[in-house]
Amino acid sequence: MKFLIIFFVLFATNFDFGLTQARAGQAAQNLCRNKNNGVFPHEEYCDYYYQCDASGEAVIEACPNGLAFAGHKRGLVTNCDYPHRVGCPDGTRVMGQQPIGGDNCQWQYGVFPHATSCTRYWHCWNGTATIQQCPFSLLYNDVIHSCDWPDNVPDCQKHPICKDVPNGAVLIEKSCVRYWLCVGGYPRLQRCPAGLAFNPTALRCELASTVAGCEPPPTTANPEDDEEEQGDSNANKPSSGTQARPQPQNAPTPQQFRPSQSGVRLVGK
String of DSSP letters for 40-108: EE-SSBTTEEEEE-TTS-EEEEEPPTT-EE-STT-SSBTTEE-HHHHT-S-SS-B--SPP--BTTBSSS
How far is it, in rounded angstroms, from Cα 120 to Cα 140?
Answer: 7
pLDDT classification of 22: cutoffs 50, 70, 90: very low
Environment class of residue 131 by beta-carbon count within 10 Å: exposed (0-12), middle (13-18) or buried (19+)? exposed
pLDDT classification of 105: cutoffs 50, 70, 90: very high
Q: Do the Cβ atoms of 108 and 64 come closer than 8 Å?
A: yes
Q: Which range among 97-101, 171-175, 214-218 shows the weakest confidence by mean pLDDT?
A: 214-218
Output the CATH code of domain 160-210.
Answer: 2.170.140.10
Q: Average model confidence (pLDDT) for the chain? A: 77
What is the CATH T-level fold of the domain 22-98, as seen in this structure? Antimicrobial Protein, Tachycitin; Chain A (2.170.140)
- pLDDT tens-digit series, residues 50-81: 988 887 788 999 999 999 999 988 889 989 99
Q: Any idea where the domains of the chain sit in the sequence?
A: 22-98, 110-152, 160-210
Output the CATH code of domain 110-152.
Answer: 2.170.140.10
- pLDDT tens-digit series, residues 119-135: 899 999 999 999 999 99
Q: Does this chain's domain 110-152 share its CATH topology with 160-210?
A: yes
- pLDDT tens-digit series, residues 181-238: 988 777 888 999 999 999 999 999 999 999 999 998 877 655 565 555 555 555 555 5
How high is the pLDDT of residue 226?
A: 57
Distance from chain centroid for Cα 92: 32
Q: Is the pLDDT of residue 245 over 70?
A: no
Backbone angles phi, psi at 160, to 5 degrees: -60, -30
How high is the pLDDT of residue 24?
A: 41
pTM over 0.75: no
How high is the pLDDT of residue 69?
A: 96
Q: Is the pLDDT of residue 243 over 60?
A: no
162 secondary structure, DSSP code? G
pLDDT classification of 241: cutoffs 50, 70, 90: low
